[in-house]
A and B are shown apart, each in its own frame.
Chain A
Amino acid sequence: MERRNLERREVPLTALRNEETGTVTSIKSGRGRGRGRGWGFEKRLMDMGLTPGTRVTVVKSAPFHGPLEILVRGSRLALGRGMAERIFVETEKE
């Protein structure tokens, strides 16, 4: 729609439409480096394959701002929305 004239844009994963694909650019970690959201959170995402440069497809999201269903490296993951908001991706087309 209004995004059509942009070549490249960096948005959180949650901004992708269903069936849209983007490439991970960075993961914004939360406060601190503790086990909670900082180091552990980022590390977990990486371990599941969401490293910078990886292509991610959003399949859909659960209703009422629920988690996202994504495809990454051939596997299907459910990702909490709060977490998905901090994964930034770049989209190529349109």
Chain B
Amino acid sequence: MTAVIETKSLSKWYGNVLGLSDVSLEIESGITGLLGPNGAGKSTFMKLVTGQMKPNIGRVTVAGQDVWNNFRLFSRIGFCPEQDAFYEDVTGWEFLTGLLRLAGYSGAEAAKRAARALEIVELTQDKDRKIRSYSRGMRQRVKFAQAVAHDPDIIILDEPLSGLDPLGKRRLIRLVKDFQSEGKTIIVSSHVLPEIEAMTSRIVMIHQGKILAQGDIHSIRDLIESYPHMISLKCGDARAVAARFVHDASILKMSFGPDGRSLVVETYKRDAFFSRLQAVVLEDGIEVEELTSPDDNLQAVFDYLVVK
């Protein structure tokens, strides 16, 4: 398979601050996940790929062409920016049709495509409301809609799941996968591993402007499994839940919050813990109020890779 997006020794800095350093990548069609903590250089990479920035060193090509100031390429690219920014005084409908008209569609075609895009992000009913009145999740969805409404071959999504509720995340993940099955090239960034994992097994790990690892998610996952995960749980009787796990060899450490309702578990086997927890909750009729992974242990992996 040939690379749709290719970067060679790509470097970018902002004054004295390094944004990206010596990044060489070949991205083929399908979904590629860009994983890294905030400030790692994911957005810089995406801005370079979408021609919003010029590399200081190196080259970025899309479909074999340099992208900087090459607006001819942009009919093939859809970009969903990270920032929560809109023309606030317009409705969702006006926003989408306006951007489609900018892409060169006639009024009728723009209307048809905007209607379709709003339908797939389930905003048809709210299309005539001003964007300033949209919830965070709706804003995120309309931002996604503008990136795909013109049916681009290449879709660049910068933190598209941020601000969405779990159901919204699931729907958007399904949509991204649908686009993949149409043969499109998709780059999606996130700082949350399970989000990326839900979309693709092909990932690029980026940290402090450098590519730390790339390839199959399983190798990254194995690496992560070698570090303990922290899982936080809030329920009526945290000690009762803890009692059910005390003989579990994969549990490294458990600690309780002062209110007696919160429990923090450290485990090597996150997935196994979640499966067991699900069973315990159902068997004992425990009401779980909150379940979070405050540390998905990415930082530990990044630290490990940096040292390595």
Q: Is this pair of chains taken from one and the same complex? A: no
A residues near B, CB below 8 A?
none
- Residues of chain B having any CB pair with chain A under 8 Å: none
